[in-house]
Amino acid sequence: MDTRNNVVWHHVTVTRERRELLNGHRAHAVWFTGFSGSGKSTLAHAVEEQLHGVGCRTFVFDGDNVRHGLCSELGFSIEDRSENIRRIAEMVRLFLDAGVIALCAFISPMRDDRQKVRAIVGADNFTEIHCDCSLEICEQRDVKGLYKKARTGLIKDYTGISSPYEAPERPALRLETDKEVLLDCVVKVVDMLRERGVVSETYFRS
* Residues annotated as part of the active site: 108
What residue type is assigned to position 108 of the chain?
Answer: S
> Over 131-188, what HEC string results?
ECCCHHHHHHHCCCCHHHHHHCCCCCCCECCCECCCCCCCCCEEECCCCCCHHHHHHH
CA distance 84 to 74: 7
CA distance 35 to 40: 8
- Looking at the DSSP bridge assignments, the partners of residue 101 are 28, 58
Nearest CA-CA partner of 15 in 101, 99, 89, 124: 99
